[in-house]
Structure 1
Amino acid sequence: MPLVSFDLLVSGIRSGQLASFPTDTVPALATIPSSSSLIFNAKQRSLKKPLILMAANISQLWDYVSADFERDNWHQIAQNYWPGALTLVVPASQKIPASLNPTDPTTIGVRVPDSEIARKILVQTGPLATTSANLSGQPPLRRMAEIAATFPNVLTLSPQEVPLELEMGTGQPSTVAKWDGNNWKILREGSVILDT
């Protein structure tokens, strides 16, 4: 599938296709939550590795997080670190398709990237199921042309739509922190140092 324009990428995502675009960390593979199985299939990814729900802003995520969790401090943490390279694993609402986290559908990783391009897409598509653009076990691909070559059936944002320095991201993964009922537990160290 050819590299596509911003508008074609957005319309393809809305119709349930798999797409790739830059973020602040590494480029993402993304699709609407109900089509998340496309990501697992394309990456040859284990169902034991959940996907991340990425959004343009925190308000897009309210409906996907358990209402019982709102009393806890995830709002403050999110406001302090988002947009940014921090993924928060929190209790999921019933709106989350179980396919995003097949082994534990009661939780979901959520993130708002510090990428104007990604947020511009997410404003138009709504929250998307995401992960890094690579085959499982391989390093993340960082150039749109490489992604298009590796995933020929994925709508990939044309490099003409993206300045080179923004196309590749930082190359560092997001920090992943999970709420354990009392505090935040770091599951993956990344570029953000979480001060809880």
Structure 2
Amino acid sequence: MTHVFMSALVAGANSGQIVSFPTDTIPALAVRPDYAELIFTLKQRSNNKPLILMGAFPASLWSYVKGTDAELEIWQQVAQKYWPGALTLVLPASDKVTGAMNPTAPTTIGLRVPNSRVAIAILSQTAPLATTSANISGKPPLHTMSEIEAEFPEVLTLHPTESTELEEPHSNTQGVPSTVVKWTGDSWQILRQGAVSFNCSVSKG
């Protein structure tokens, strides 16, 4: 059994173990950023598929990116509009980001704050975690803690009663990956259309 209560899952995450918990989209595999290579190995994931840094609130994530004051203002405006929610922002990475999270493009980092009471309760007790979908690379994402436990017995999965107690009302983003947009220097590029519609008009101009 790898189902654990939240306190044990948080302790495991803080010590560098891979954990799994529900989010507002699909369940995440998560680990400390400096242990990100463990997820690539576990998932048999290609190095050209970066992980997403997930935090409990926007302020916990801004130290992982770098930009001009004008860019930071734009990014924060977008975050205020879409976070917490199913939008991942790919932004220029600061020196705080480890290359293990994005081995082939370490100059960028994907950031997200999930609209999930369960995920935020966990992330508020850890630093931001490197996350991805729970599946062997190339296979469909797993959608329940029991499926994840069966596929990845070495991963700490959140006990079902903990999820139920904090369960949020069903939303139209559950089961669908996040939308991913990348800052190009003066505008936004949609890399993956996912759970939310994004307005690309927010730019320097």
Aligned to 1:61: 61
Secondary structure of the structure 2 residue equivalent to 1:162? helix
Structure 1 residue runs of 5 or longer lacking an equivalent are none
Aligned to 1:71: 70
Mapped partners of 1:147, 1:191: distance in 2: 22
Normalising to structure 1: TM-score of the pair?
A: 0.95
Secondary structure of the structure 1 residue equivalent to 2:70? coil
Aligned to 1:177: 181
1:163, distance to aligned residue in structure 2 (A): 2.2
1:69, distance to aligned residue in structure 2 (A): 4.0
1:6, distance to aligned residue in structure 2 (A): 0.6
Alignment of 1:88-99 (within 5 A): 88-99=89-100
User: Residue by residue, what CA displacement relative to the aligned partner does 1:61-97 show, whole Å, maximum 9, x if unpaired?
Assistant: 121011x244211110011000000000000000000
Secondary structure of the structure 2 residue equivalent to 1:90? strand
Mapped partners of 1:161, 1:69: distance in 2: 41
1:127 aligns with 2:128: yes
Normalising to structure 2: TM-score of the pair?
A: 0.91
User: Residue by residue, what CA displacement relative to the aligned partner does 1:110-151 show, whole Å, maximum 9, x if unpaired?
Assistant: 000000110110010010000001111111101101100100
RMSD: 1.6
- Aligned AA (2:178): S
1:158, distance to aligned residue in structure 2 (A): 1.1
Alignment of 1:155-170 (within 5 A): 155-163=156-164, 170=174
Mapped partners of 1:173, 1:186: distance in 2: 14
- Aligned AA (2:7): D
Q: Which runs of 4+ in 1 moved over 3 A?
A: none
User: Residue by residue, what CA displacement relative to the aligned partner does 1:25-84 show, whole Å, maximum 9, x if unpaired?
Assistant: 000000010000111011010000000000000000121011x24421111001100000
CA contact (8 A) 1:69 1:91 kept: no
Secondary structure of the structure 2 residue equivalent to 1:131? strand
CA contact (8 A) 1:82 1:113 kept: yes
Structure 2 residue runs of 5 or longer lacking an equivalent are none
- Aligned AA (1:8): A
